[in-house]
Protein backbone atom coordinates (compact mmCIF):
# COMPACT_ATOMS: atom_id res chain seq x y z
CA UNK A 1 0.00 0.00 0.00
CA UNK A 2 2.82 2.36 0.94
CA UNK A 3 4.67 1.41 -2.24
CA UNK A 4 1.53 1.99 -4.30
CA UNK A 5 1.10 5.50 -2.92
CA UNK A 6 4.79 6.29 -3.13
CA UNK A 7 4.82 5.27 -6.79
CA UNK A 8 1.83 7.47 -7.54
CA UNK A 9 3.32 10.49 -5.78
CA UNK A 10 6.80 10.12 -7.25
CA UNK A 11 5.30 9.46 -10.67
CA UNK A 12 3.10 12.54 -10.52
CA UNK A 13 6.06 14.61 -9.31
CA UNK A 14 8.20 13.42 -12.22
CA UNK A 15 5.46 14.51 -14.62
CA UNK A 16 5.53 18.02 -13.14
CA UNK A 17 9.33 18.08 -13.45
CA UNK A 18 8.94 17.28 -17.14
CA UNK A 19 6.43 20.09 -17.58
CA UNK A 20 8.88 22.44 -15.86
CA UNK A 21 11.60 21.59 -18.35
CA UNK A 22 9.42 22.20 -21.40
CA UNK A 23 8.02 25.48 -20.09
CA UNK A 24 11.57 26.70 -19.50
CA UNK A 25 12.35 25.93 -23.14
CA UNK A 26 9.13 27.70 -24.13
CA UNK A 27 10.37 30.99 -22.71
CA UNK A 28 13.93 30.71 -23.97
CA UNK A 29 14.77 32.40 -27.27
CA UNK A 30 14.48 30.34 -30.43
CA UNK A 31 17.66 28.78 -31.79
CA UNK A 32 16.63 28.10 -35.37
CA UNK A 33 17.95 30.29 -38.17
CA UNK A 34 15.19 31.67 -40.42
CA UNK A 35 17.06 30.55 -43.50
CA UNK A 36 16.07 32.66 -46.47
CA UNK A 37 16.13 35.80 -44.29
CA UNK A 38 19.09 34.92 -42.10
CA UNK A 39 22.14 32.87 -42.92
CA UNK A 40 24.92 31.52 -40.79
CA UNK A 41 28.50 32.46 -41.72
CA UNK A 42 29.93 29.62 -43.77
CA UNK A 43 32.69 27.57 -42.14
CA UNK A 44 36.19 28.41 -43.45
CA UNK A 45 36.84 24.90 -44.75
CA UNK A 46 33.60 24.66 -46.73
CA UNK A 47 34.16 23.39 -50.27
CA UNK A 48 32.03 25.13 -52.87
CA UNK A 49 33.07 25.24 -56.50
CA UNK A 50 36.52 26.71 -57.08
CA UNK A 51 37.08 30.37 -57.87
CA UNK A 52 40.04 32.56 -58.75
CA UNK A 53 41.80 34.50 -56.01
CA UNK A 54 42.23 38.23 -56.43
CA UNK A 55 45.81 39.45 -56.06
CA UNK A 56 45.71 42.29 -53.57
CA UNK A 57 48.64 44.14 -55.24
CA UNK A 58 47.48 44.14 -58.85
CA UNK A 59 43.77 43.57 -58.40
CA UNK A 60 44.01 40.91 -61.08
CA UNK A 61 44.16 37.14 -60.90
CA UNK A 62 47.30 35.44 -59.63
CA UNK A 63 46.97 32.71 -62.27
CA UNK A 64 50.13 32.14 -64.34
CA UNK A 65 48.41 29.78 -66.79
CA UNK A 66 50.72 26.89 -65.94
CA UNK A 67 47.85 24.43 -66.53
CA UNK A 68 48.67 22.32 -63.45
CA UNK A 69 45.07 22.40 -62.28
CA UNK A 70 43.89 21.25 -65.67
CA UNK A 71 46.30 18.31 -65.50
CA UNK A 72 45.47 17.49 -61.89
CA UNK A 73 41.73 17.39 -62.44
CA UNK A 74 40.56 13.75 -62.55
CA UNK A 75 37.24 14.67 -64.17
CA UNK A 76 38.63 17.04 -66.81
CA UNK A 77 36.37 19.85 -65.80
CA UNK A 78 38.92 22.67 -65.96
CA UNK A 79 39.98 24.40 -69.18
CA UNK A 80 42.65 27.09 -68.90
CA UNK A 81 43.61 29.29 -71.84
CA UNK A 82 46.20 32.03 -71.90
CA UNK A 83 48.19 34.13 -74.35
CA UNK A 84 51.56 35.88 -74.51
CA UNK A 85 51.27 39.66 -74.52
CA UNK A 86 53.80 42.36 -75.39
CA UNK A 87 55.52 43.87 -72.38
CA UNK A 88 54.01 41.47 -69.90
CA UNK A 89 56.12 38.87 -68.19
CA UNK A 90 54.66 35.38 -68.43
CA UNK A 91 51.33 34.36 -69.85
CA UNK A 92 48.06 36.21 -69.37
CA UNK A 93 44.88 34.35 -68.55
CA UNK A 94 42.16 34.73 -71.17
CA UNK A 95 39.72 32.04 -70.09
CA UNK A 96 39.27 29.82 -67.05
CA UNK A 97 36.32 27.52 -67.65
CA UNK A 98 34.97 25.22 -64.95
CA UNK A 99 32.42 22.55 -65.85
CA UNK A 100 30.81 22.20 -62.44
CA UNK A 101 28.46 19.43 -63.63
CA UNK A 102 31.40 17.03 -63.53
CA UNK A 103 33.34 18.42 -60.58
CA UNK A 104 33.49 16.21 -57.49
CA UNK A 105 35.08 18.88 -55.26
CA UNK A 106 38.16 16.71 -54.65
CA UNK A 107 40.34 19.79 -54.36
CA UNK A 108 43.34 18.42 -56.31
CA UNK A 109 43.34 21.60 -58.42
CA UNK A 110 43.59 23.80 -55.34
CA UNK A 111 46.39 21.63 -53.95
CA UNK A 112 48.34 21.64 -57.20
CA UNK A 113 48.18 25.40 -57.73
CA UNK A 114 51.64 26.80 -57.03
CA UNK A 115 50.77 30.54 -56.97
CA UNK A 116 47.70 29.82 -54.80
CA UNK A 117 45.49 31.36 -57.46
CA UNK A 118 42.39 29.21 -56.87
CA UNK A 119 40.39 28.53 -53.77
CA UNK A 120 37.04 27.10 -52.79
CA UNK A 121 34.15 29.56 -52.94
CA UNK A 122 31.44 29.70 -50.28
CA UNK A 123 28.58 29.46 -52.78
CA UNK A 124 26.14 26.80 -51.61
CA UNK A 125 22.74 27.90 -52.86
CA UNK A 126 23.19 27.33 -56.59
CA UNK A 127 20.11 26.72 -58.68
CA UNK A 128 19.56 26.43 -62.41
CA UNK A 129 17.31 24.77 -64.94
CA UNK A 130 19.92 24.15 -67.65
CA UNK A 131 23.17 22.26 -67.69
CA UNK A 132 24.90 25.30 -69.21
CA UNK A 133 24.18 27.28 -66.04
CA UNK A 134 26.90 25.24 -64.33
CA UNK A 135 29.66 25.92 -66.80
CA UNK A 136 31.31 28.88 -65.15
CA UNK A 137 33.80 31.29 -66.64
CA UNK A 138 35.83 32.02 -63.51
CA UNK A 139 37.74 34.91 -65.06
CA UNK A 140 34.52 36.76 -65.85
CA UNK A 141 33.32 35.90 -62.37
CA UNK A 142 36.40 37.47 -60.80
CA UNK A 143 36.02 40.57 -62.99
CA UNK A 144 32.38 40.87 -62.01
CA UNK A 145 33.37 40.53 -58.38
CA UNK A 146 36.03 43.25 -58.70
CA UNK A 147 33.57 45.66 -60.21
Partner 1 sequence: MHVDPEIIRLLAFLIGVIAFAALNAAYLVWLERKEAGHIQRRIGPKEVGPFGLLQPLVDGIKLMTKQLIVPAGVDPVLFRIAPILVMVPAIMSFVTIPFSETLVARNLDIGLLAIFAFASVNVLGLLLGAWGSRNKYAVISAARVVSQNVAYEIPMLVTVVTLVMITGTMNLHNIVMQQQGGFWHWNIFNFSASPLMPVAFLIFFVCMLAETNRAPFDMAEAESELVAGAFTEYSGMGFGVFFMGEYANIVIGASMATILFLGGWDCPFGLFPGVHWFLIKMYFLIFTVIWIRWTYPRTTFYGLLNLSWKILIPISFFNLILTSAMLKVF
- Rule CB under 8 A: which residues touch partner 1? 8, 12, 15, 18-19, 21-23, 25-32, 34
Residue 30 CB, shortest distance to partner 1, in Å, is 5
In the complex with partner 1, which residue's Cβ is closer, 32 or 43?
Answer: 32
CA atoms within a 13 Å half-sphere pointing along the CA-CB vector of 119? 15
Q: Nearest-CA neighbor of 118 among 65, 43, 42?
A: 65
Q: Does residue 91 contact residue 124 with C-beta atoms inside 8 Å?
A: no
Residue 42 CB, shortest distance to partner 1, in Å, is 23
Residue 96 neighbours by CB distance under 10 Å: 27
In the complex with partner 1, which residue's Cβ is closer, 19 or 42?
Answer: 19
In the complex with partner 1, which residue's Cβ is closer, 26 or 58?
Answer: 26
Residue 97 CB, shortest distance to partner 1, in Å, is 40
Residues in the chain: 147
Amino acid sequence: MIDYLREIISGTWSLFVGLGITIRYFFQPVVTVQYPYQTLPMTPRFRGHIELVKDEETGETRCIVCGMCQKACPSNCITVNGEKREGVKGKVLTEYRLDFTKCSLCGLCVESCTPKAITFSKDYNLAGVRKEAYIFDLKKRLEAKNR
